[in-house]
Structure 1
Amino acid sequence: MDTATFRTRLSAWLDTHDLTPDPADDSLDAHVAQLDRVRRELWEAGWMRHGWPEAVGGVGGPSVLRAVLGEEVATRQLAEPGLYSMVEVLVPTLISYASPTLAAEVVPRLLGGREQWCQGFSEPGSGSDLASLSTRAVRDADGHGWVITGQKVWTSLAQYATRCVLLARTGPDPGHAGISAFFLDMDSPGVTVRPLRTMHGVDEFAEVFLDEVHVPGDRLLGSVGDGWRLAMDLLPHERSTCFWHRVAHLYTRLDRLIDQREKPEDEAAALGEAYLALHMVRCRSHATQRRLAASGRLGPETSVDKILLATAEQQLFDTARDVLPGSVELTDPAWRTEYLYSRAATIYGGTAEVQRNIVARHLLGLGKE
């Protein structure tokens, strides 16, 4: 099915199937429950299966169909875009690194809204510097499984997650080569999750404590020592493809801002600049979708996507603060929450400084030692 036909048919279906969330409940619990509902109904109707391989319950087709679906979900405000887009980060990883049997078993559960997953990368002493992580996995007594001990932090939705894609050190090498990846069941004995309250008032993140947690041998993703390679394959998705949904959401915020301004001539130049910044990200995201479709892989060039998205998001909410004086600070909790969340745009998924270093070294060939 081509993109235009898919969008037309999807839009018609959404027009006749009410997936609108309850406007009276803006809690994180409600957002996660709504996310489950949206994924489940889209999966059962077949829409969530497009762009995914048949081996994991999909119906095939280009990956851009997933972007179109996410854009429709975000534009109609059916699910929080950041939560919805986690599938674009974790599912490609499971398909690439898990055994075919495991991927076929678990991927439909996530896409079908029966499970939530999380990503256990960052640690208290190694946020953007994954190579310095200290969580350790050692062979268990019979040599078939693993025992993991350590701590993760800033783990999105860990308190709701059934499973976790986790990095741990399995070898003596202090750098990249000693890291492996695991697919951990979050109800395993020894796993403790503690939600973290952020400045925008939502417990979206959590810290995860791992106290001699047993992981079966068949939950190793890839081979021993493949953790860094997995991370380098996963992070470009976290820094690019899922932004299609985020940009669509930000366009709705811009429309709202234009509707709420008191005078039509107020801050016209600033609004125009905010629009151009969003348009630039969307054009870049479109190019990234085409690159993914052509090669099946993404690389360090996605750091450009991340820089553009973070810049545009903060610019939009800075503009809202200027155009609607007092709303962020005093009168509008919705604007205030999103403004505060936008401050993290240059931190999550790798800081802006890290992204610029990647661009300088890997794309421009600068700063090599």
Structure 2
Amino acid sequence: MKKSFLTVILSVFVCGQAFALSDIEISGEADMNAMVNLLPSGEAGESEFRIPSLLLNFSVPLKDDNLLYVSFEGAQKRNDDTNTESFIVNTREAYLDLVSIFEGAHSLRMGVIPQAWLESQYEDTNYRFLGETAWGLTEKWKYQNYSDLGMSFMSELPANLGEWSLTVVNGEGREQDSAGPHKEGSLYFRFTSWTPFVISLQYIHGTYEQYGEDVSAKERIQAAFLYKPEDSNVRMGLELLDTHDPADAVNDLKMADGVDVTDMLGEAVHGLGGSAYVLLSTGPKAELMLRYDYLDAVADKDGRDMQTGIISLAYQVTADVKTALAVDRTWYAENYGPGIRDTSKVELAAQVLF
């Protein structure tokens, strides 16, 4: 996949008859962290410098308002088997945004497309640069990949209520092709007309092909409520999550922070989660962020829930540079999994947009 999309990019640059090179918009983001562990106690005081994400985006205008968009992401990935990290570059997004065949505000995306829920969520909060602890719930707990191979039809809702999309993808993430009969479908609604409230709803249904038919279903039910009044120094958000997966998939894909479901293999697992956050402007350039996440990874069993709290003080140095000092802690229930311990860290993070 990496080579094929690199070929696309090179073809774009040499094909000067279709568009002028000056029309190509190149942007990116560099996230940088310096952190010190507070927990586990045996690792207290250990420090680390990280680049959790490095994005390079190409937006290529085509004729009749169509668009080719390609994004590469470099990120540090940990190998659980060797307990080592390496910096890996992958194609994050690569899709054709086709609007010329429709009348009005409609669009068809084809290729490696972003999930509408996570894309809009990061546009609302933009605190992903703090690292995985601050990612969207479904991405950080591996219930959903940020992007996948497939297509999506997007349009506006009637009476200017907002927008909606219908998406069909392979369901295995952008790093894997899938020739099987089962695909993953999602229906997404975002209501924006009830200012200052924004309400989002999403339903995802897919099938794991390698597990028994009785427990092969994958489901995600999500709801989010955002309060963002104009000319106010306060924004608040609430997200709710309901999940259904085979226990074998939860175990094999290390979902939900590696929760122990070995006693449920061959059965279905139901999970419940949520997140609440507050953004408070404390000055012309400063912002305080408080966030609390909760996951009951196995709702039918006791002692397999987790909680995460984040406190961040951010400062907008310039329009393209934001820094933040953050502290987070994650608590695990006693039966969450063997060897899983509470974690905590303090970090100095920076986000650079270019």
| TM norm structure 1 | 0.26
| TM norm structure 2 | 0.26
Greater strand share, structure number = 2
- Which structure carries more relative contact order (alpha carbon 8 Å, separation 6+)? 1
